[in-house]
């Protein structure tokens, strides 16, 4: 079989060169288009459902949230398994699909079933899908540094400016915030005053909710001109909350400040984020979308961060806490180093022992074409260029070198003997 292939190649050199050119072009295209990452993604093909019901213990979360959702998610086609976890105020459900299922098709089917399961949940509870990423999607971590700014101000800057800007980067599924304090208005009621004034607790809750919204007042026509009427009622300060009317006591209006203490505080924190033992920090995690090129996503995020930095307050800047592109570039550098070293060794060996540059070029061409064919196959089968795949190519180069040198030496010797016989 090998003899027939060699004979056909000798008789059809034109088609052989066409094949070499096609391999070269296809290999270069595959190198440019193959997603690059540091580690192989071995995570399961899953869709995560997150439901928040704050203030409830795990037993209530299991009975009222997790169980109804898991029961109604049964029966979705091509599911491998469903796993769930209930904790304080939160429920996580992991719907694992078969490996060949398209992740966005899976998310659509899960979302369809969630719309039906919504009626079995408590009022006001809405489950949501997790980001369309994988367990290795956390490609870049950053922190915000700013002297003179407290953790609450930095967290507000992260949540309301930086996060929204970075989510517009192509290939980014989500930007998760961490650390700091999330600001909130806190109303601490005095139960003795509620009893004294005879005000039910639900009346206070309804009054606060009703006084924090804008309303429309239709259209008012005057002098052939129409005016849009709207009521401005959004809370903008602590004083707005304190002045909310709750009821009356002996014809005297009762305000919220008469029965409660209103102040600015932080939301409940279940942990802190510390950097190198130097204190708490505020930052975010850039989560890569499924199937994207990690190296390109990180580069685009860095470019966007430079643009965002121009709009940050004076003294606030970004600091990279984890950058996977360093490991990616190191893996690519290892392959490049192994490639040029092998090529150099082959050239030296072939030229020293055979004194033939053409024979060395044959062995070198076999190495380069083998690497290009490897990248073409990686692209066809959807394999990312990571430490394992690039390391495998680097190791395989050594196996390709041996037969290349042996075949070149045999061909050179056969041709030399034939020339000597003719003479």
Kindly report the number of other CB atoms within 10 A of residue 37's CB atom.
24
Q: What is the pLDDT of residue 267?
A: 79
pLDDT bucket at 185, cuts 50 / 70 / 90: confident
183-266 maps to CATH 3.30.2090.10: yes
**Domain residue ranges in the chain:** 2-38+328-422, 44-132, 134-182+267-323, 183-266
- The DSSP line for 235-287 is --SHHHHHT-EEEEETTEEEEHHHHEEEEEEE---S---BSTTS-B-EEEEEE
pLDDT tens digit string along 115-129?
Answer: 888 888 998 898 999
Q: What is the pLDDT of residue 50?
A: 94
Q: What is the pLDDT of residue 422?
A: 60
Residues found in the chain:
423
Q: How many Å separate Cα 238 from the centre of its chain?
A: 37
**pLDDT over 70, % of the chain:** 97
pLDDT tens digit string along 68-118?
Answer: 999 999 889 999 999 999 998 899 999 999 988 988 999 999 999 998 888
Q: What is the pLDDT of residue 44?
A: 85
DSSP class of 74: T
Q: What is the pLDDT of residue 423?
A: 55
User: Residue 14 has which token pair?
Assistant: 């034109």
30/361: higher pLDDT: 30
Q: What is the pLDDT of residue 418?
A: 66
pLDDT tens digit string along 222-237?
Answer: 887 888 888 888 888 8
43/2: higher pLDDT: 43
- Across the range 37-62, mean pLDDT stands at 87
- Across the range 337-351, mean pLDDT stands at 75
User: Residue 222 has which token pair?
Assistant: 């005057």
Kindly report the number of other CB atoms within 10 A of residue 367's CB atom.
19
CA atoms within 13 A on the CB side of 393: 29
Q: What is the pLDDT of residue 227?
A: 85
Q: What is the pLDDT of residue 97?
A: 93
pLDDT bucket at 157, cuts 50 / 70 / 90: very high
- Across the range 268-279, mean pLDDT stands at 82
Q: What is the pLDDT of residue 169?
A: 93
258/354: higher pLDDT: 258
User: Residue 156 has which token pair?
Assistant: 């507000």
**Same CATH topology for 44-132 and 134-182+267-323?**
yes
pLDDT bucket at 183, cuts 50 / 70 / 90: confident
Measure the CA–CA gap between 183 and 168, rounded to whole angstroms: 25
Mean pLDDT across the chain, nearest whole number? 85
CA dihedral sign of residues 353, 355, 359, 361: positive
Task: Specify whether the CB–CB gap between 157 and 313 falls below 8 A.
Answer: yes
CATH code: domain 44-132 is: 3.30.70.1430
Please tell me the class of the 134-182+267-323 domain.
alpha beta
Kindly report the number of other CB atoms within 10 A of residue 251's CB atom.
5
Helix locations, 250-324, DSSP H: 256-259, 294-309
> CB neighbours of 352 closer than 8 A, spacing ≥ 6?
none
User: Residue 399 has which token pair?
Assistant: 């196996």
Give SS3 for 98.
coil
Q: How many Å separate Cα 362 from the centre of its chain?
A: 44
Beta bridge partners of 272: none
- Across the range 163-178, mean pLDDT stands at 92
- Across the range 342-359, mean pLDDT stands at 72
> CB neighbours of 121 closer than 8 A, spacing ≥ 6?
51, 64, 65, 68, 69, 127
**Does residue 420 have a pLDDT over 70?**
no
44-67 burial, b at 16+ Cβ within 10 Å, e below that, comes to ebbbbbebebeebeeebbbebbbe
Superfamily of the domain at 2-38+328-422:
Multidrug efflux transporter AcrB transmembrane domain (1.20.1640.10)
pLDDT bucket at 316, cuts 50 / 70 / 90: very high
């Amino acid at each position: 079989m090998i003899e027939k292939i060699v004979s056909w190649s000798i008789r059809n050199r034109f088609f052989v060169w066409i094949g070499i050119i096609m391999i070269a072009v296809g290999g270069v295209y595959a190198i440019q288009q193959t997603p690059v990452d540091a580690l192989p993604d071995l995570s399961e093909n899953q869709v995560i459902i997150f439901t928040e019901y704050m203030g409830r213990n795990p037993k209530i979360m299991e009975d009222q949230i997790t169980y109804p959702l898991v029961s109604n998610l049964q029966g979705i086609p091509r599911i491998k398994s469903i796993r769930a976890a209930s904790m304080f105020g939160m429920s996580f459900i992991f719907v694992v699909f078969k490996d060949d299922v398209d992740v966005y098709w899976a998310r659509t089917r899960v979302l369809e079933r969630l719309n039906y399961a919504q009626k079995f949940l408590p009022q006001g509870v809405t489950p949501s899908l997790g980001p369309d990423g994988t367990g290795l999607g956390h490609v870049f971590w950053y922190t915000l540094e700013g002297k003179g700014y407290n953790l609450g101000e930095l967290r507000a800057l992260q949540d309301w400016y930086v996060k929204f800007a970075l989510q517009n980067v192509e290939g980014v599924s989500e930007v998760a915030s961490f650390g700091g304090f999330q600001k909130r208005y806190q109303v601490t009621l005095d139960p003795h005053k509620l009893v004294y004034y005879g005000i039910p607790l639900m009346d206070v809750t309804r009054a606060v909710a009703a006084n924090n919204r804008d309303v429309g007042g239709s259209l008012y026509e005057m002098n052939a001109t129409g005016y849009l009427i709207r009521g401005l009622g959004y809370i903008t300060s602590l004083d707005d909350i304190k002045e909310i009317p709750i009821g009356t006591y002996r014809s005297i209006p009762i305000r919220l400040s008469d029965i409660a203490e209103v102040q600015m505080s932080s939301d409940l924190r279940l942990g802190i984020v510390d950097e190198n033992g130097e204190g708490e920090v505020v930052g975010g995690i850039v989560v890569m979308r499924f199937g994207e090129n990690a190296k390109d996503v990180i580069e685009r995020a860095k470019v966007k961060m430079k643009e965002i930095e121009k709009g940050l307050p004076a003294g606030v800047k970004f600091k990279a806490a984890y950058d996977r592109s360093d490991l990616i570039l190191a893996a690519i550098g290892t392959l490049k180093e192994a490639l040029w070293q092998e090529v150099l060794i082959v050239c030296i060996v072939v030229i020293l022992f055979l004194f033939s540059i053409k024979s060395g070029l044959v062995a070198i061409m076999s190495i380069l074409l083998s690497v290009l064919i490897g990248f073409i196959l990686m692209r066809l089968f959807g394999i990312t260029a990571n430490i394992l795949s690039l390391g495998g190519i680097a190791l395989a180069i050594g196996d390709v070198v041996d037969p290349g040198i042996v075949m070149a030496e045999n061909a050179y010797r056969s041709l030399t003997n034939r020339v000597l016989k003719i003479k």
